[in-house]
C-alpha cells in the first residue's frame, strides 16, 4: 500500500518547469523516504532541534575558535559517458569539483559581487570535497567509477537495491551518482536531487546526491546553472530550500528570507510575500539558477556545521577515514587507474568474461616491462573468482591490458564478488617505492542461468471501484507497472517507460493469441511521458471486450533488453480488467512464447532468424538491388533519407532502385512493412 501511495504521489505531483532545467525534487523525494520510514522522520525532527541548539551555542560562544577545515572523501558513479549529447569524463568531474569547492569556500569570483544588502550575511564553509584515492577494498582509484548507462536513481524508492549494490560504504564515502534521466521518466532536463542526513539511508548505503551529467560545469549551457550541484551538496549537509512551504514555510534557518515561491525574480532584486528582500543569489533558492548563484548565509553555514555532527555524516571527515580513503595525503605518489572496475559475465552465460580493463600507471613510476605478458607470482598475485585467471598484457611502460581467461566455477548472481590483483615489486622499475597503492579491485558480476519464468501473480483487478493499482514483476531494472481505469470504458496499462506490443501505428495494446512469439520483431510501442500509458480499451478500440489474451512487454535487466508477457482478461462491458499471470525471459534479446507455462524452457527453441533486408551493391553508383528475408514484399515501403533526415524518395514494393540522381554521399534507408522496421546506411559513390 505504501508503494502504491508513493507511485501515485510521483505520478501526480505537479512540476514547476523552468526553461532550461527542471527544479530539484529533494523535498518530494525525501518525503517519500520519510513516509516509508517514520523513524527516519523522527530522527530528522530531533536533529532539527539539535541544529537549532547548536546554532544558539555558536552564537553565544564568547570566544570564536579558529574555523575547522573539513575534508569529505567523495566517489562519483557515472552511468553512461554520453549524457544529452555531452561527454562525461574524469577531467570534467575534477573541474566541476574544483568549482564546487570554490563555491563553498567563497573563492568563486561572484562571491565578491553579492547584492550589498546581503553581503554582511554571507558566509563560507571551510570544506574540501576530495575524490577518493583508495577504494573500499584498499585498492587504487581515482574516485570516478564508470558504469553502463542507467537511470532512475533520483527516485525515493524502487531503485534502492541497485543503488546499494553500486555504492561505496556510505560511512566512508559521499556517493554522487551522475545520470542523465534522474527519474527514468524520459525527461533529460532534471538537474539534481539529494537526501538529507538519514542514518537509515547511510546504513543501507542509499545516502546520495544524484546529478545530471549534462549540467556539469564543462557541459552546462550556463556555468552558473552548473552550481545546482553546490545546491545539492547543500541538501546533503541538511540545507532546505529557502522557498520551502511558501510564505508560511521555513527552511529552519533564521537569516534566509523566504524566496518568492514562483522564482519569478531571476537575478533581479525584489521582495517576498512578507515584503522582505529576497536573497535571490542564495544557493538554496531557484532564482539563482538563472545566473546568479553566489552565497550561503551564516545561518546556513551553521546548519551545515551541525549536519557534520550527524551520525550519518560525522564518520566521513574523521582523520582515520581520510587516511583510509587516501584523501589525507598531500604527496603525489604514483597510482594505478583502471578504465573499468566492473566485469560482467559474457552473454553466453557460462562463467566466462569477454571484456577487458586497461590499467594506466600515473605519475613518475614505470612498469619494468614494455611488452609481453606479466607473470603470475613474479609480477602480480590475484584473488579473482575460482576458475578465472588474469592475463596481463603489457602495452607500454605505463599501460597494461587485463583480460580474463577461463570460466568461473560458480557463476550465479549470488556469486557476485570483488577480486583484486596486486602488483609486486618486480612489476615496477625501482620496486613499489613511490606508489600510493599497488592493487586494483574489480566487481565480478554474474547472471543467473537464463530461463523463461512463469509467475501466477495475485490478480491485479481494475474496475470502477479500484481504478489504479501498482504492481511489480520479479525482475528488471525498473520492475514497476500500473493497472489504470482512466475513465468509464477507458482502460490503460502504465509501464513507466517500458514498451508494450501495440497495433501498428497506434497506441492500442495488441490482443495476442497463445503460442505467439514476443521478441525483437514484435511491434513494440513506447508510451508517452511518465508514467507512460498505453490503451487496452477505449472508444474505437474494443477488441479486448470479453476476451482473455496476452500483452507483450519488454524490460531492461542490468541494462539488457528482455521480453515477457501478461495474461489479461477484459470485462465483457469493457469497463474493467484483470492481469492474471505473467512470464519473462531473462536471456537478453531472446523471445518468449505467449501462454507457455513451463517454468524454464530451452530458449533456443524460440530463436528466430531475424527479419531483415539487404542491399547490393553498397556503395553503389547505379542501381541497388533489394532482397527481403521473411517479409511480405507487397507491404514493404522503403524511405530514403539524407543524413540530415530529409526524405529523398519513398519506394513501395521495392526490388531495385536507381541512385543515379542522388549526389554522392551517405543516405539512410528505412524499410518497414508496418510491423517491422529496419534501418541501413547506403553509400552513393
Residue 143 or 288: the one with the smaller Cβ distance to Zn ion is 288
- Report d(CA 290, CA 295) in Å as an integer: 14
- Picking from 633, 647, 644, the residue whose alpha carbon sits closest to that of residue 666 is 644
Q: Least distance (Å) from Zn ion to the CB of residue 190?
A: 11
| Total site size for Zn ion, rule CB under 5 A | 2
**Do residues 114 and 277 lie in contact, with contact meaning Cβ atoms separated by under 8 Å?**
no
Q: Least distance (Å) from Zn ion to the CB of residue 31?
A: 13
Residue 235 or 593: the one with the smaller Cβ distance to Zn ion is 235
Which range in 22-30, 166-174, 403-411, 486-494 contacts Zn ion by CB under 5 A? 22-30
Residue 243 or 530: the one with the smaller Cβ distance to Zn ion is 243
Residue 24 or 570: the one with the smaller Cβ distance to Zn ion is 24
- Report d(CA 556, CA 429) in Å as an integer: 46
Which range in 17-25, 125-133, 419-427, 656-664 contacts Zn ion by CB under 5 A? 17-25
Those residues with Cβ within 8 angstroms of residue 602's Cβ, 6 or more apart along the chain or in another chain:
none
Residue 192 or 532: the one with the smaller Cβ distance to Zn ion is 192
Q: Least distance (Å) from Zn ion to the CB of residue 358?
A: 38
Residue 227 or 601: the one with the smaller Cβ distance to Zn ion is 227
**What are the φ and ψ backbone dihedral angles of 376, each rounded to 5 degrees?**
-60, 140
- Picking from 76, 93, 106, 83, the residue whose alpha carbon sits closest to that of residue 191 is 83
Q: Least distance (Å) from Zn ion to the CB of residue 152?
A: 18
Which range in 19-27, 207-215, 307-315, 468-476 contacts Zn ion by CB under 5 A? 19-27
Query: Could you give the count of Cα atoms lying within 13 Å of 84 in the half-sphere of its Cβ?
Result: 22
Which range in 24-32, 484-492, 572-580, 633-641 contacts Zn ion by CB under 5 A? 24-32
- Report d(CA 443, CA 416) in Å as an integer: 7
Residue 27 or 349: the one with the smaller Cβ distance to Zn ion is 27
Grid coordinates of 315: 564518520
**Do residues 38 and 45 lie in contact, with contact meaning Cβ atoms separated by under 8 Å?**
no
- Report d(CA 551, CA 483) in Å as an integer: 13
- Report d(CA 482, CA 496) in Å as an integer: 8
Examine residue 190 and tell whether it contacts Zn ion (CB under 5 A): no
Max alpha carbon distance in the chain (Å)? Answer: 91
Q: Least distance (Å) from Zn ion to the CB of residue 236?
A: 10
- Report d(CA 532, CA 534) in Å as an integer: 7
- Classify strands 517-518 and 592-593 as parallel, antiparallel or unpaired: antiparallel
Residue 243 or 444: the one with the smaller Cβ distance to Zn ion is 243
Which range in 25-33, 129-137, 362-370, 528-536 contacts Zn ion by CB under 5 A? 25-33
According to CB under 5 A, which one of 26, 108, 205, 321 is a site residue for Zn ion?
26
Q: Bridge-partner residues for 174, per DSSP? A: 74
Q: Which residue is nearest to Zn ion (CB)?
A: 24
Which range in 18-26, 164-172, 483-491, 512-520 contacts Zn ion by CB under 5 A? 18-26
| HEC assignment per residue over 211-257 | EEHHHCCCCCCCHHHHCHHHHHHHHHCCCCCCCCCHHHCCCCCCCCC
Q: Least distance (Å) from Zn ion to the CB of residue 235?
A: 6
Examine residue 24 and tell whether it contacts Zn ion (CB under 5 A): yes
**What are the φ and ψ backbone dihedral angles of 59, each rounded to 5 degrees?**
-70, -40
> By CB neighbour count within 10 A (0-12 exposed, 13-18 middle, 19+ buried), where does 66 fall?
exposed
Grid coordinates of 20: 532550461
Residue 22 or 659: the one with the smaller Cβ distance to Zn ion is 22
Residue 26 or 523: the one with the smaller Cβ distance to Zn ion is 26
Q: Least distance (Å) from Zn ion to the CB of residue 196?
A: 11
Those residues with Cβ within 8 angstroms of residue 270's Cβ, 6 or more apart along the chain or in another chain:
260, 277, 278, 280
- Report d(CA 539, CA 43) in Å as an integer: 51
Q: Least distance (Å) from Zn ion to the CB of residue 34?
A: 16
**Do residues 659 and 684 lie in contact, with contact meaning Cβ atoms separated by under 8 Å?**
yes
Q: Least distance (Å) from Zn ion to the CB of residue 286?
A: 8
Q: Least distance (Å) from Zn ion to the CB of residue 231?
A: 5
Residue 233 or 317: the one with the smaller Cβ distance to Zn ion is 233
Alpha-carbon Rg for the chain in angstroms: 29
Cis peptide preceding 617, ω within 30 of 0: yes
Examine residue 509 and tell whether it contacts Zn ion (CB under 5 A): no
- Report d(CA 402, CA 398) in Å as an integer: 13
Q: Least distance (Å) from Zn ion to the CB of residue 182?
A: 12
- Report d(CA 235, CA 29) in Å as an integer: 12
Q: What is the DSSP string of 511-554?
A: -BPTT-EESTTS-EE---STT-EEEEEBTTB-TTTT-EEEEEEE
Catalytic residue numbers, as ranges? 232
What residue ranges bind Zn ion (CB under 5 A)? 24, 26
Amino acid at each position: 500500500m505504501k508503494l502504491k501511495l508513493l507511485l501515485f504521489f510521483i505520478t501526480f505531483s505537479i512540476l514547476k518547469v523552468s526553461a532550461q532545467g527542471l527544479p530539484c525534487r529533494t523535498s518530494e523525494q525525501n518525503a517519500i523516504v520519510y513516509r516509508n520510514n517514520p523513524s527516519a522522520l523522527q530522527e530528522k525532527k530531533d536533529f532539527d532541534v539539535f541544529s537549532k541548539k547548536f546554532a544558539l551555542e555558536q552564537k553565544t560562544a564568547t570566544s570564536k575558535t579558529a574555523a575547522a577545515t573539513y575534508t569529505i572523501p567523495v566517489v562519483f558513479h557515472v552511468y553512461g559517458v554520453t549524457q544529452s549529447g555531452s561527454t562525461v569524463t574524469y577531467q570534467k568531474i575534477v573541474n566541476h569539483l574544483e568549482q564546487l569547492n570554490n563555491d563553498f569556500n567563497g573563492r568563486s569570483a561572484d562571491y565578491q559581487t553579492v547584492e550589498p544588502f546581503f553581503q554582511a550575511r554571507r558566509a563560507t564553509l571551510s570544506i574540501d570535497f576530495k575524490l577518493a584515492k583508495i577504494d573500499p577494498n584498499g585498492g587504487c582509484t581515482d574516485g570516478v567509477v564508470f558504469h553502463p548507462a542507467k537511470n532512475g536513481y533520483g527516485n525515493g524508492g524502487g531503485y534502492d537495491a541497485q543503488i546499494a549494490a553500486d555504492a561505496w560504504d556510505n560511512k566512508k564515502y559521499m556517493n554522487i551518482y551522475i545520470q542523465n534521466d534522474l527519474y527514468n521518466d524520459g525527461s533529460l532536463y532534471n538537474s539534481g536531487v539529494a537526501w538529507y542526513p538519514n542514518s537509515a539511508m547511510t546504513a543501507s548505503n542509499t545516502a546520495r546526491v544524484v546529478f545530471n551529467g549534462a549540467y556539469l560545469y564543462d557541459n552546462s549551457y550556463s556555468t552558473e546553472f552548473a552550481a545546482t550541484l553546490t545546491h545539492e551538496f547543500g541538501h546533503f549537509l541538511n540545507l532546505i530550500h529557502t522557498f520551502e512551504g511558501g510564505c508560511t514555510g521555513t527552511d529552519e534557518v533564521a537569516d534566509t528570507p523566504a524566496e518568492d515561491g514562483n522564482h519569478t525574480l531571476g537575478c533581479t532584486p525584489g521582495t517576498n510575500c512578507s515584503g522582505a528582500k529576497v536573497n535571490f543569489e542564495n544557493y538554496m533558492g531557484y532564482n539563482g539558477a538563472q545566473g546568479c548563484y553566489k552565497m550561503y548565509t551564516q545561518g546556513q553555514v551553521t546548519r551545515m556545521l551541525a549536519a557534520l555532527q550527524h551520525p550519518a555524516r560525522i564518520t566521513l571527515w574523521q582523520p582515520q577515514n581520510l587516511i583510509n580513503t587516501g584523501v589525507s595525503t598531500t604527496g603525489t605518489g604514483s597510482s594505478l587507474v583502471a578504465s573499468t572496475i566492473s566485469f560482467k559475465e559474457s552473454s553466453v552465460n557460462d562463467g566466462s568474461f569477454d571484456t577487458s580493463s586497461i590499467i594506466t600507471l600515473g605519475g613518475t613510476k614505470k612498469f619494468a616491462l614494455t611488452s609481453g605478458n606479466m607473470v603470475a607470482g613474479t609480477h602480480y598475485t590475484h584473488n579473482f573468482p575460482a576458475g578465472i585467471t588474469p592475463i596481463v598484457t603489457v602495452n607500454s611502460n605505463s599501460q597494461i591490458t587485463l583480460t580474463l581467461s577461463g570460466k568461473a566455477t560458480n557463476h550465479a548472481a549470488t556469486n557476485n564478488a570483488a577480486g583484486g590483483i596486486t602488483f609486486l615489486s618486480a612489476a615496477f622499475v625501482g620496486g613499489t617505492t613511490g606508489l600510493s597503492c599497488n592493487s586494483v579491485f574489480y566487481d565480478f558480476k554474474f547472471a543467473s542461468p537464463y530461463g523463461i519464468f512463469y509467475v501466477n501473480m495475485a490478480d491485479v483487478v481494475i474496475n470502477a471501484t479500484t481504478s489504479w493499482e501498482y504492481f511489480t514483476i520479479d525482475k528488471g531494472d525498473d520492475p514497476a507497472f500500473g493497472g489504470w481505469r482512466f475513465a468509464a470504458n477507458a482502460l490503460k496499462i502504465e509501464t513507466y517507460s517500458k514498451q508494450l506490443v501495440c497495433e501498428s501505428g497506434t497506441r492500442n495494446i495488441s490482443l495476442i493469441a497463445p503460442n505467439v512469439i514476443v521478441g525483437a520483431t514484435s511491434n513494440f510501442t513506447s508510451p508517452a511521458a511518465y508514467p507512460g500509458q498505453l490503451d487496452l480499451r477505449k472508444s474505437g478500440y474494443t477488441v479486448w471486450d470479453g476476451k482473455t489474451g496476452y500483452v507483450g512487454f519488454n524490460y531492461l535487466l542490468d541494462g539488457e533488453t528482455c521480453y515477457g508477457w501478461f495474461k489479461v482478461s477484459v470485462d465483457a462491458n469493457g469497463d474493467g480488467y484483470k492481469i492474471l499471470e505473467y512470464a519473462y525471459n531473462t536471456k537478453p534479446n531472446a523471445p518468449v512464447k505467449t501462454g507457455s507455462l513451463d517454468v524454464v524452457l530451452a530458449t533456443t527453441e524460440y530463436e528466430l532468424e531475424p527479419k531483415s533486408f539487404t542491399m547490393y551493391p553498397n556503395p553503389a553508383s547505379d542501381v541497388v538491388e533489394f532482397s527481403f528475408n521473411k517479409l511480405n514484399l507487397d507491404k514493404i515501403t522503403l524511405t530514403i533519407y539524407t543524413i540530415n533526415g530529409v526524405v529523398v524518395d519513398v519506394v513501395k514494393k521495392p526490388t531495385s532502385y536507381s541512385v543515379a540522381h542522388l549526389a554522392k554521399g551517405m543516405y539512410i534507408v528505412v524499410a518497414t512493412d508496418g510491423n517491422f522496421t529496419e534501418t541501413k546506411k547506403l553509400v552513393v559513390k
